[in-house]
Amino acid sequence: MAALSGWITRGQLIHQASHDVATLRAGKPLWQWQLRQPSDLVASRVFGAADLEAMPHGLVITSRDGTPFEVGLPLAVPVDLAHWPLLRVDMQGNREGVLDVSYQSTESGTPCAADRAAMIPTSAATLSIDLANEAWRTVDGAPCQAPDVVAYLLRLRVTMPAGATLALHSVALATPEPAKLPPTIDRQTADIRLPGSESSANWTPAARQVAGYRTPVIRLPEGATAEAMLLWRDRVRQYWPAAVVLPFGQALPRATSNHMPTWLDAGVAALYLASLVWLAIRQRPGVVRPWTEVAAIAFGPLWLIAGLRWGPGASIPGITAFLAALIYGGQSEWRRRPVEWGWFGRTWSDWIYPLLPLPVALALTLADGHHLLHLDARHIAAYLAWALLQQWAMLALVMGRLERTGLPRPAILLVTATLFGLLHTPNGSLMQLCLAAELWWAWSFMRSPRLLPIAVAHAASALLVESGLTGHLLRSLEVSARFFQ
C-alpha cells in the first residue's frame, strides 16, 4: 500500500507541475480567485457592515452605513507577492470608493496594510495595484516591508458611501517579468536537489538560493514516501510558491497531463448506475452471486476515493456512484431479510474485543504525537455516524458476501481489510493503519456479527489519531485528492 500511495503521489506531483509550467509559459496567473459564490471568500462572508449577494457575473456587496468592509481571499497555498506583485481586481462600482490592501505573511506575523492603494471608479474596471510600490504600515503606523511570500492572510478593504454597491468578478496576481524555465525538463533537470538524509522540517535553503530563484526546478529525495514528498513540497513552497516540484528521476511530459475528462467520468458513472439497476432487477430470493455483488458494491466507493474524485472540486459522477453503491447494497440486504448480523452488542465481550486498536492508537500518540486537539461534539457525533456507515458497508455488505464465496476465513479477512485500506487511498500511512485495524474488526465481526461496538471502536481510534497524531506520523486523515492539499 505504501508503494501504491507513492506511485499515485508521484503522478499527482507531475500533473501539478505540468499544469503550473504550462500556465507560466502561457503568461497566465498562477494565483487567481474567480468570485462567484460566498464560499469563494474567507469565511464565506464580508467582514464589516455590508451585505453579500451572489450574482451570475460575480459577488455584489452593498455597504450599509459607509464604514469600511473587508473581503478575504482564501490562501490554499502560499503566494509569491515579491515576484508577482501586480494585484489585478476586476470590479464595478456604482459609486466612487477607496480600496486598501492588507496582508499577514504567517499566523504569527505582523499585519500590514497599504491605505488608498487604488480608487474605485464608477464604471467597470480592472484595477492593477503594484504591491511592491505601496507604502505599507502596521496597525500602529510603523513602516513594514512590501509583501514577499504570504501564506496566511490577504484582504481587500473597501470604503464606499452607504447604499453603494460593488460587484467583484475576479482577483489575480500578475508579474511584470516572464518566468524563466528550461525549454524541456528531463529526468535530470534540477536547480535544487533536496537531501534525503535531512528532515523537511529542519531544511532551510541558503540565502543566495532564495534570492536567486523564483521558479526553481526542485527534485525531491530519492525513495521518499508519499507523506515525505508532500511535506517537502509544502516546505519548498514556504520559500518559492511557484517552484516546479518533481519526484526524483522523473521527466516532465511535453504535453500537459490531464485527468479524465468530465464527459468520460460521467459516462463511466452512467454505465455503472445502469449495471446496478440491471443487477437489482435480476436479484431473486435465495440466489446469491457473491463475487458480482462484491464488485458492484466496491466499485462506486473505489471510483470516488482511489480514483481521486473526492477533492476541493468533488466529482458529481463520483459522488453519485458512491451513493448508488450504498443504495444498491442496502436494498440487497433488505430483500434478504432476516440477516445474520445485528446492530447492538449482546455481551460485554462484543464491546470489549473491538477496542483493541484503541490502546495501539494511544501508544502511537504517546510515542510520536502531540497534545490532544479539541474536537467538538458535533464532529464526534458525525464521525461516529460515518464510522457506522463504513463498517456496515465493509462488514455487513462486502464481508457478508465474501463469506458465501467459499474462500477460507483468513482470505476473507484479508480481502475485506485490503478493500478498507484502499478506501483511504492515497494516504499511505493511514492505508496501512486501516488495513491492520480492519483485520481485527473483521475478525471481531466474524466472531460476533454486531456492528455498533465495532463502529464505536473505529470512531474512538480514529478520533484519537486525529486529535493527537496528525501532523507527525500521519500527515493528515484526508483521502483521495484532498490528501494532496
Pair 363, 428 in one domain? yes
Count CB neighbours of 264 within 10 A: 11
Pair 323, 444 in one domain? yes
The pLDDT value given to residue 260: 66
Are the beta carbons of 47 and 25 closer than 8 angstroms? no
SS3 402: helix
The pLDDT value given to residue 482: 87
What is the value of pTM for the model shown?
A: 0.86
Phi first, then psi: what are they for 91, rounded to 5°? -150, 170
Using CA atoms, how far residue 377 sits from 50, 380, 383, 463, in Å, is: 32, 5, 10, 11
Of 417, 440, 431, 442, nearest in space to 475 by CA:
431
Summarize the chain as % helix, strand, coil (round to 5): 45, 20, 40
| 120 domain residue, yes or no | yes
| 383 domain residue, yes or no | yes
| 331 domain residue, yes or no | yes
Q: Angle CA(250)–CA(253)–CA(257) in degrees, nearest 5?
A: 115
Pair 320, 452 in one domain? yes
| 335 domain residue, yes or no | yes
Whole-angstrom Cα distance, residue 221 to residue 194? 6
What is the number of domains present in the chain? 3
Pair 441, 351 in one domain? yes
**Could you read off the pLDDT of 214-251 as tens digits, one per residue?**
999 999 999 888 888 999 999 999 999 999 999 998 88
Pair 308, 447 in one domain? yes
The pLDDT value given to residue 339: 80
Range(s) of the domain holding residue 223: 2-27+183-246
The pLDDT value given to residue 287: 67
The pLDDT value given to residue 258: 62
The pLDDT value given to residue 472: 64
The pLDDT value given to residue 449: 94
Domain limit, last residue, from 174, 197, 225 = 174
Are the beta carbons of 305 and 480 closer than 8 angstroms? yes
Question: CATH number of the domain that 114 lies in?
Answer: 2.60.120.430
**CB hemisphere CA count around 438 (13 angstroms):** 28
Query: In which residue ranges of the chain is pLDDT below 50?
Result: none
| 128 domain residue, yes or no | yes
SS3 219: strand
481 Cβ contact list (under 8 Å, min separation 6): 12, 308, 309, 310, 311, 312
Q: What percent of the chain has pLDDT over 70?
A: 98
User: What's the chain's length in residues?
Assistant: 485
| 101 domain residue, yes or no | yes
Pair 23, 37 in one domain? no
